[in-house]
Amino acid sequence: MEKRLVKILISLLLVLLAVLSCFVVARMCDDSTLNRRLSESIDEKTATVMKLTSASAVASAGISAIPGDTATPIAEKLADLTGYFLIVLSVLYTEKALLSMLGAAAFKILVPIACAAGIAGVWFWGRGKLLARKLALFAIAIAVAIPASLLVSDGIYENYSARIDETLASSEELNEETAPLAQANRDESIVQTILARLSETAASLADKAAQLLNRYVESVAILIVTSCILPCLGLVLILWLTKTLFGVDVIARAKEAARPVREPGAHPGEDGRRGA
């Protein structure tokens, strides 16, 4: 009788924990000051990437108007950076989605499932207790990993944000100097007149363009490290815990799913012989 009473009390406690997790803790997690701060930080980084993308496009057009062969490769390299900005932008949007979804998923789904498994373990399923502990640990890791990695990346980003601001300022300055050249539409007589009026020569403008490219490369590196690599450490932790707790290697499963399916009876070298 005492054991049955203990089981009933534990079950009621787990039901209460599931309700609190689903309706109280999940709401507190969504409305927490930390989540709002991290979300605002992601929005600021997104706006910075947008500014860098538009500024690099304008700078590339202006640099290509500088007479001579030196500036053209610089303009092309600057235009190629748009692809990297797009990658960073995609990662930032993914981070914001994960920040808002994973906390809710942990406390609204995983913790109640863990409590249900714990109740089953108390009454009739021996493995339920172990599964409940694993799910609870996994839920806590999901709720903590992404915000923690974003906090680390924000701390590093603040140390280097001045470099990005300098890049935007230098880009705007060079755009103002090359704007008349771009408007001249490469008419040699007009371009030479504009260069004569400018305090900078074509060679010095090309040097400025090269320095600006270096600044943009440095800014891209800062954004990739602080917005892509460091936040991904949280996902790496989640994947590692998935493999450790549940024995599921997500990366290996994804590779197997990506492999082409061979036809029955086909040999590895058969396709090569057919092609020959």
> What is residue 47's predicted lDDT score, i.e. its pLDDT?
92
- pLDDT tens, 141-194? 888 888 888 888 888 888 888 888 898 888 888 877 776 665 555 455 554 555
- Mean pLDDT for all residues in the chain: 77
CA atoms within 13 A on the CB side of 8: 5
- The pTM of the full predicted model, rounded to 2 decimals, is 0.72
Domain boundaries, the chain: 2-253
> What is residue 265's predicted lDDT score, i.e. its pLDDT?
54
Task: List, in order, residues 6 or more apart from 63 with CB less than 8 Å away.
Answer: 71, 74, 75, 78, 174, 178, 206, 209, 212
> What is residue 274's predicted lDDT score, i.e. its pLDDT?
46
> What is residue 198's predicted lDDT score, i.e. its pLDDT?
53
Q: Give the C-alpha separation, 81 to 134, whole Å.
A: 43
> What is residue 98's predicted lDDT score, i.e. its pLDDT?
82
Residue ranges in the chain modelled with pLDDT below 50: 186, 191, 197, 199, 250, 270-276
